[in-house]
Structure 1
């Protein structure tokens, strides 16, 4: 595929400048494994890493979900960009000058609108910040923030601002700066009046800018100074802002997240800011909205461990409990920070200080099993012996029996038996745990899909998974041959002369055709650069799979000849099968002479096969 109107030298410069390990490392925690780097795939949920990055070939491949490609394809997939948008993004990061028209007029218009709306948000953030710090109208909000422990440094770091109570302060500035008011309305910064004209969306609120992964302002969160309702107001969803896909402060937390391989998740932006002041710089928030699968996937792209630090009240703890399954499904290692006395993180830091918050709350976070047990006991009256017994049996059934590790089960059973020794002994609890596990295993063996709190694996009653189908010999030969061709121009020239596009698999034939064209343009073997010419998801996945899984061991002229012979042999076998079908049809129709002629063709082809 052509790269459209994007000059080849820009694509080449982008690929040369950006090391794929560094780019992907901003989104995925990678560890060295042999010649590759490995991590949890950012495109699907998994607990064991199957996402591979090859620094030498500058490509990636996930053997779980099948995605694969070069650095431009990765940015396309992870950011939801088109090919041209991904190239532009990488060119901007590398300060590579670019000028091309890769978009249709409609696409160009949408891109221009998006840039103007982002510009409007950036301007509004600066204006609100200026009003907070430099106006009489902003002084009450500034005094309030300082009274809540927000230092000038924090206010500056997070560009906190203030939207004055007037109806159209922002509108007037937009008019002066010649911003398009209909576009600013589209970005939810202002609202149209039924009588005509526009008013500000946010008024008389402390303003917290919300930024995307690149640090651009895309939305706002506003808080009233008093008890007006709603107390908290976020920007509505727009083309820029999707609550389910944005985490507050992720852009600033990324460096610390990468260093610690851990993210601390809060409910609101005020908690994040106070945590930042306490030295917890890997903190993010969902801004009051429910945690989503997209949030979980976004976090797992960057870290393996999560600490949930939700409010200590019943609502906060229930939300933490509810989100455990979603985070576990994403393959994250989770701990829960336990805030006492129904405090939130903001109040705790103010009351007990930064050191105690870091050491006792964040570092003292408990494993999910411990949290589930603590959360469960809230439903039982611990002053009543009958209720204590019900709690013990429920804890065993709903939490402890589901722990896969025998050591882990024994640890929590000992804790339980120590606390409730008057109710039941350790041996009795252990026996009940084993009986529950045996019952559940029997249900799964019999294909019983009844839900059980810790049974997240469904079983269809079969004894084992079906074995994968073996690939035909020609498929293996074609993949091996393409692997060598991707690294050797001379072999490619030989294959083009002897085989051309006569591969048995259409996708293999397409890869070969693109490779012939790639070398014809004067390029040297370069896997990443070649794959950038494909601009087809399926072909890039196939190419990355071939490059990651095939081996060049034992490659010589005789092996190449064997591959070519195997490919030709299959084509001839297919031709013979078609002739046999035609001969049978002729015989059935009474055309004996025609059938005899076809038989001679079959014999000739069989003769050629035997000579190979």
Structure 2
């Protein structure tokens, strides 16, 4: 059994069911290149494809950022899953029974903890929903929701609930079901008392909106007050289940429409999403009371081509749009803005204008991101007087010059020409000058200014030419490549070299290979990679397989590589002895120098004998 409680047979079934080209093709446009499939890497920004899928081996590898692995690792990386979570989701998609969670002692402690925290959140959501619908405590909250245009159907559909004005309603409920309260506090459901004597409810006297992850599991809550008290909204704290920078409200329910249309509408709040849903907007999302992040953009980029902002019409909402547009544009997304009447939020707009007018006048006619920037720019300019008008036009040209399409630039230049009665030729000349200046400042290489998805990596990578590796490093990689493809080669290498590889990751891969073949398994690189349980080793293995030159590999060459690897420790010892000899000579210690010289001669003799040895 691998990966805690997941049987090896389940991992193998998932891997065999999900063909890697089909799976990767849902996220990356792949084109055939000989026996490989190539495309732009989804894990770092690039213009020249360096991302390669090998159907024969069922693996992927990026020559730019180094990521690689099998189909399960790809889904885990793309969706932000742990390996067990990826296996579980892919098994459910394939109709493979997910039965490995049950059973005494199954699973590692970390997975068991997360499952228990999820269970606590699910029960809390049911409790809050019950209290809203069936108790006197919830009547005021339900009346408030109805006054905001929320029907009973919507309340049930979104599992909206109510946390009463009590310190321990949820605490006692969870305790009665023998939940570990400390674990529930770490999961964000409860708060520890200041004196350390116990726990209290985190949410009190608030309307409760369950927040679900992409699989539809409740992972947090948003609590809203019904008066003017602050904070207006209180979200669950950051936890192992809930990360605001990676979660969208309503993503699980809107995903089918989002994937079908490749389009999402971004709102600011829960109520906006729910009311828009009732009006027919089934692809609406909201961030968790936080600004849009690059991690949000990376998630959206995997599912959509276009994002439509529908934030509040007040100054704060419009400023948030302006700040968020570059984040999504750097992710390669088309961005537009649904313009609301000034000061209105989507909830108010739907209530006052009605769903039909909201869809017809707002959602069906969004303006482009550039048009929005030009409209927003007017807030900072008084267009009275020649100087003020000139200043606005020059600032507007700065926005237009950022467009890559010369056709798009001309469209906006013509608008400016008509409105301000300036010749189109003059505007084109000034715009061309700004474009040239921007291009001079732009660094060369693959989208260096577009760091949107490099945030998935630990740090920005510099893709310079790799340093020349020593001969033994190349030899070890060739041996490992042969071992992954040929069980007989692995047995020969085990007999004559064992785990005496000089590179730590190579030694680890060799150990895993020996254990893999010891189970009587046939060579299958994708299956082997799925047993590694280590992201770094998976990258190393796929890099070895993808970079191997596949030149003829007979027994003579195999033993030459083994000799090259085996002599490294003696070469390092010889180098160390030569350094000792140099120090002894500099210090005038003749006897020590003679002794070290004898040892050096002996080592050189051993190296020559080892080079000439027969296997």
Q: Cα deviations across residues 534-566 of structure 1 (Å, max 9, x unaligned)? A: 2233221011223345465xx6566x7556646
What is the DSSP-based 3-state SS (H/G/I as helix, E as strand, rest coil) of the residue aligned with 1:220? strand
Give distance in 2, aligned partners of 1:43 and 1:122: 33
Tell whether 2:159 aligns with 1:145.
Answer: no
1:256 CA displacement = 2.4
- Structure 1 distance, partners of 2:244, 2:358, is 28
Alpha-carbon distance, 1:243 to partner = 2.0
Instruction: Indicate the residue corresponding to 2:203 in structure 1.
Output: 202
Matched, 1:157 2:157: yes
Q: Shift of the alpha carbon at 1:316?
A: 0.7
1:3 and 1:292, CA in 2 relative to 1: closer, same or farther beyond 3 A? Answer: closer
Residue 97 to residue 201, structure 1, CA distance change in 2 (3 Å)? closer
Hey, what's the Cα distance between the residues in 1 that align with 2:578 and 2:210?
Answer: 76
Alignment CA distance shift 1:29-1:147 (3 Å)? farther
Q: Secondary structure at the match of 2:308?
A: strand
Residues 134 and 597 of structure 1, relative CA distance in 2, 3 Å threshold: closer
Paired with 1:74 and 1:467, the residues of 2 have a C-alpha distance of 25
Q: In the aligned structure 2, how far is the partner of 1:175 from the partner of 1:501? A: 52
- Specify which of 97, 100, 105 is matched with residue 95 of structure 1: 97
Aligned to 1:129: 129
- CA offsets 1:116-154 (integer angstroms, 9 cap, x no match): 333232122112222333344434433443443333332
| Cα shift at 1:529 | 1.8
Give 2:64's aligned residue.
Answer: 64
Tell me which residue corresponds to 2:242.
241
Task: Decide which moves more: 86-95 or 65-74.
Answer: 86-95
Residue 338 of structure 2 contacts residue 367 of structure 2 at CA under 8 Å; is this kept in 1?
yes
CA RMSD of aligned residues (A): 4.5
Q: Provide Cα deviations, 1:259-292, integer angstroms capped at 9, x if missing partner.
A: 2333322111112112222333222111332222
- Cα deviation for residue 219 of structure 1 reads 1.8
Greater alpha carbon shift after TM alignment, 565-574 vs 305-314:
565-574
Alignment correspondent of 2:118: 118
- Range that drifts further, 383-392 or 177-186: 177-186
Instruction: Give the stretch that moved more between structures: 377-386 or 477-486.
Output: 477-486
Q: Report the equivalent of 1:376.
A: 377
Please give the TM-score of this superposition, normalised by the length of structure 2: 0.78
Query: Shift of the alpha carbon at 1:354?
Result: 4.3
Q: Distance in 2 between matches of 1:156 and 1:445?
A: 53
SS class of match (2:325): helix
Mean Cα deviation higher: 265-274 or 130-139:
130-139
For 2:200 and 2:611, the matched residues in 1 are separated by 86
Is 1:262 aligned to 2:260, yes or no?
no
Q: For residue 383 of structure 1, report the CA deviation from its aligned partner.
A: 3.5
Question: Which residue number corresponds to residue 488 of structure 1?
Answer: 486
Q: 1:441 to 1:165 in 2, by over 3 A?
A: closer
Please say if residues 475 and 564 of structure 2, whose CA atoms lie closer than 8 Å, have aligned partners that are also in contact: no
Contact preservation (8 Å) 1:162, 1:207: yes
- Quick check: 54-63 or 269-278, which moved more? 54-63
SS at structure 2 position matched to 1:264: strand
Q: 1:380, CA displacement in angstroms?
A: 0.9
CA contact under 8 A between 1:29 and 1:39: conserved in structure 2? no
Inter-partner Cα distance in structure 2 for 1:584 and 1:117: 59
Q: Which residue number in structure 1 is paired with residue 293 of structure 2?
A: 292
Deviations 1:556-594 (A, max 9, x none): 566x75566467568779978987997999897568995
Q: Counterpart in 2 of 1:527?
A: 525
Could you tell me how far apart the structure 2 residues matched to 1:475 and 1:118 are?
46
Deviates more, 1:192-201 or 1:115-124: 192-201
User: Are the structure 2 counterparts of residues 466 and 125 from structure 1 closer, same or farther at C-alpha, using a change threshold of 3 Å?
Assistant: closer
Q: CA deviation at 1:317?
A: 0.9
CA–CA separation in structure 1 for the residues paired with 2:105 and 2:552? 45
Q: 2:29 aligns with which of 12, 31, 51?
A: 31
For residues 49-108 of structure 1, the C-alpha deviation after alignment (integer angstroms, 9 at most, x for no partner) is: 7555555534333333222223454566567776667667767774243358576xxx62
Secondary structure at 2:222 match in 1: strand
CA contact (8 A) 2:191 2:200 kept: yes
Q: Does 1:276 align with 2:274?
A: no
Unpaired runs of 5+ residues, structure 1, are 447-453, 458-463
* 2:254 pairs with 1:253: yes
Which residue of the partner structure matches residue 451 of structure 1? none
- Give 1:374 shift: 2.0
Question: SS in structure 1 opposite 2:300?
Answer: helix
**Pairwise mapping of residues 6-17 of structure 1 onto structure 2 (< 5 A)?**
8-16=8-16
1:321: Cα distance to partner?
0.7
Could you tell me the TM-score, scaled by structure 1's length?
0.78
Task: Give matches, 1:169-568, under 5 Å.
Answer: 169-191=169-191, 200-354=201-355, 356-358=357-359, 360-397=361-398, 399-421=399-421, 424-440=422-438, 467-469=465-467, 479=477, 482-493=480-491, 496=494, 507-550=505-548, 561-562=556-557, 565=560, 568=563
SS at match of 1:334: strand
Aligned residue number for residue 461 of structure 1: none
Q: How much does 1:239 deviate?
A: 4.0
The 1:598/1:217 distance shift into structure 2, 3 A limit, reads closer
Shift of 1:10: 4.8
Residues 21, 164 of structure 1: alpha-carbon distance in 2 compared, 3 angstrom cutoff: farther
**Structure 2 contact 350–358 (Cα < 8 Å) conserved:** yes
> C-alpha distance in 2, partners of 1:384/1:328?
34
CA contact (8 A) 1:42 1:300 kept: no
Q: 1:184 to 1:491 in 2, by over 3 A?
A: closer
Q: How far apart, CA to CA, are the structure 1 residues paired with 2:246 and 2:365?
A: 29
Question: What is the distance in 1 between the residues matched to 2:611 and 2:121?
Answer: 75
Q: For residue 319 of structure 1, report the CA deviation from its aligned partner.
A: 0.5
Q: How many pairs align?
A: 585
* Cα drift, residue 315 of structure 1: 0.9
Q: Matches of 1:143 and 1:47 in 2, distance apart?
A: 55
Alpha-carbon contact 1:30-1:38 (below 8 Å) kept: no
> Take 1:319 and 1:20, find their aligned partners in 2: how far apart are those partners?
39
